Structure 1
Amino acid sequence: MAKPYLSLESVGKSFSRGAASTEVLKEIDLKVERGEFISIIGHSGCGKSTLLNIVAGLTDATTGVVLLEDKEVNDPGPDRAVVFQNHSLLPWLTVYENVSLAVDKVSRKTRSKAERHAWTMHNLDLVQMAHAKDKRPSEISGGMKQRVGIARALAMEPKVLLLDEPFGALDALTRAHLQDSVMQIHATLGNTVMMITHDVDEAVLLSDRIVMMTNGPSARIGEILDVPLARPRKRLELVSDAAYIRCRQAVLKFLYERHRFVEAA
């Protein structure tokens, strides 16, 4: 039996403060195949971002292990690129320079200067930002900044793209356009994506599977939902699609019941 591309095995995380210890995540088991788009959804405080940070190597797991292509993940690396809700662009650099900085870091030894330039422009083209290459972050919109953040992450050619609520701070129309862009990029590159979201429609639209977290503390994976929708997906056609509606209702039911459980506690 082939080993999974990305594997989380009995991952747990506790934070200690003085004598007190809080268990945030408990016994997380998840297997992700190459090219899969996985969304992680759950109420605030269920440890979604902590889980993503463990996969990114930004936070150590207290128990268990994360394996990427059967190699243990212990620290950050270019094989896992993160796009945060806050774009994290360097304000003194242009759009082009923000992306080329990442390109230089990962491929200075393997690509010539001309090749690195071409690769930077290729990734700006992927997110439709080549026209703004000479602008600084203060001169472009929030949605455009997120596009540049995605281009920078893709330019590192990561094995796994990690998205931490990348559209959370954007208006609805900009969010929809960026979701469409991410779907197009995923279709073009066939990359492996793990995304955190609070948005049920976003999760169903983009994902192959949706991982639903129980409430914290000691959050676990409550359910994993397969999304049996053919790609490419067109949002306007999906609104009335029976499978889409079923998936959406399943996630809402899970989240609503968890919320009611919290209120009862």
Structure 2
Amino acid sequence: MSAYLSIENVGITFQGDKGPFCALRDVSLKVDKGQFISIIGHSGCGKSTLLNIVAGLSAATTGGVILENAEVTAPGPDRAVVFQNHSLLPWLSVYDNVRLAVDKVHKARDKAWRHDWTLHNLSLVRMEEACDKRPGEISGGMKQRVGIARALSMEPKVLLLDEPFGALDALTRAHLQDGLMEIHQRLGNTVLMITHDVDEAVLLSDRIVMMGNGPAATIARILAVDLPRPRRRVDLACDAAYTHHRAEVLRFLHGHDTARDAA
């Protein structure tokens, strides 16, 4: 049986002023439907480049991406991306920022359905009461929640998150992580998330993909996180399995950092 999402021998080389630069080499990963995958590694290891290839925003030089037995060749609503920058349109309200995506993807539906669906997705991230506010009137964490609602409203097969909480304070980040866990538990969506946060990776993920350093970066190790769901960060704070998984990722990152410094 084929994987729901398959990244197969992906590599990408860019042409620069000093000649070709190989950013990724032979990256292969199979993801089952409903899995939450975190991708972690040092800056410059090609995490965002890999996510952009899955999103169809960049074309691989070698290999390819298969989603539900169809090759990914361009961006599409079956893959929604949430970036670290919320990318909301500042002149539109919270409601209209989400409704814009709903109208684009679900244009065959009637207006009443699209209205209800917009409100439903805002309710998933607890932003329905801020419908009439504009992005400049809400906090950074609230903007990210709207960005997630907009992505979810497209009903993507895969939700792609590029450090969505990286610019937020620790308390806001924790609240949004809890909200994302709740949404994932409820919807069972397939998620690929880039992060630099070890605790975030262990808390949220079914598997953690650890990237080696670039250039020509590839997957160095995959760690299965066998913690039962639903998860509560308070319960996991002193959990031996959680502590073990966290230590494994830290050892990997520290080891690769040492190798880079010695090079």
TM-score (normalizing by structure 1): 0.99
What's 2:122 paired with?
124
- Unaligned segments of structure 2, at least 5 residues: none
What's 2:175 paired with?
177
What's 2:240 paired with?
242
Task: Quote the Cα distance in structure 1 between the aligned partners of 2:72 and 2:87.
Answer: 23
Structure 1 outlier segments of 4+, above 4 Å: none
Look up the SS of the partner of 1:211 in the other structure: strand
5 Å-filtered alignment, 1:138-149, equals 138-149=136-147
What's 1:9 paired with?
8
Alpha-carbon RMSD across the aligned residues, in angstroms, is 0.6
Per-residue CA deviations over 1:37-56 (Å, capped at 9, x if unaligned) read: 00000000000000000000
Give, as a single letter, the amino acid of the residue that structure 2 aligns with 1:243.
A
Which of 107, 131, 155 is residue 133 of structure 1 equivalent to? 131
5 Å-filtered alignment, 1:78-97, equals 78-97=77-96
Task: Quote the Cα distance in structure 2 between the aligned partners of 1:249 and 1:219.
Answer: 23
Give, as a single letter, the amino acid of the residue that structure 2 aligns with 1:227.
V
Per-residue CA deviations over 1:102-158 (Å, capped at 9, x if unaligned) read: 00000011x110000000000000000000000000000000000000000000000
What's 1:160 paired with?
158
Aligned length: 263
Task: Quote the Cα distance in structure 1 between the aligned partners of 2:61 and 2:259.
Answer: 27
* Per-residue deviation, 1:18: 4.4
* Per-residue deviation, 1:92: 0.4
* Per-residue deviation, 1:19: 5.8
What's 2:194 paired with?
196
TM-score (normalizing by structure 2): 0.99
Task: Quote the Cα distance in structure 2 between the aligned partners of 1:242 and 1:24.
Answer: 36
What's 2:62 paired with?
63
Percent identical: 69
Task: Quote the Cα distance in structure 1 between the aligned partners of 2:30 and 2:66.
Answer: 10
What's 1:108 paired with?
107
Task: Quote the Cα distance in structure 1 between the aligned partners of 2:159 and 2:20.
Answer: 31
Give, as a single letter, the amino acid of the residue that structure 2 aligns with 1:75.
A
* Per-residue deviation, 1:239: 1.0
Give, as a single letter, the amino acid of the residue that structure 2 aligns with 1:117.
H
